[in-house]
Copies of this chain bind each other. A is one copy, B any other.
Amino acid sequence: MFDGTQNKILNATMSLIIEKGYTATTTKDIAKRAEVNECTIFRKFKGKKEIIIAAMSLPEWNPCLREEDFKYTGDLIKDLCSFSEVYLRKVTPKMVKISLGLRSPDLYDLTKDGIKEIPDTFKRVLVRYFKKMQELHKLQTDDIESLAVAFLAMNFGFVFFKASFGDELTELQTKEYIDSSVRHFVNGIGR
């Protein structure tokens, strides 16, 4: 799909966007990091924006969540842990940084739908799952919308914090966080 030179350019571009954002990343920066002459960039891609479009077509830079990836058994804790694992395996701090770095007026139309689709998909999965669990009388609430949004926020918030502050806000690692947040989510915290 892309040759060696193109891949060097793609990788250089995305790693710079993670660090500085799209607008602040110049084609000179990209050329330097890709160890390529600047004019080569424009021989390989129509323009700066085209590099982003090309990169977004690769799964490496575009975490596409699919509903089929989320499987469940009927055990609330087990299922929600598994959901979180799938979500957090795709929505990594790196991906969050990219989606933040891509926030630019002239990329908005290009990226908006793709970015929104990720929480949309996860929420859809959660709503469907909670409805099913409710039918099986495994839930003590009928406010499924809130449940889904809260669980989604709990997961996204964690990865956002990791992306923004590394381990400075909390040293909890993904696996421990999933286990305990899901356990608390299901069992509650009060006695």
Q: Which residues of A contact B (CB under 8 A)?
A: 19-21, 23-24, 76-77, 100, 103-106, 115-116, 119-120, 123, 137-141, 143, 145-147, 149-150, 152-158, 160-161, 164-165, 168-170, 172, 176-177, 180-181, 183-191
Partner of A19, one of B105, B106, B137, B139: B105
Specify which chain B residues have a CB less than 8 angstroms from the CB of A21 in the assembled complex. 21, 23, 103-105
A186 to chain B: which residues have CB within 8 Å?
Answer: 188-190
- Does more than half of chain A's interface fall in helix, strand or loop, or is it mixed? helix
Q: Could you tell me the distance in whole angstroms from the C-beta of A177 to the nearest C-beta in chain B?
A: 6
Asked if residues B153 and A157 are in contact (CB atoms below 8 Å), the reply is yes
Other-chain contact of A161, B100, B153, B165 (Cβ < 8 Å): B153
B149 touches A153 (CB 8 A): no
CB-based contact A24/B104 at 8 Å = yes
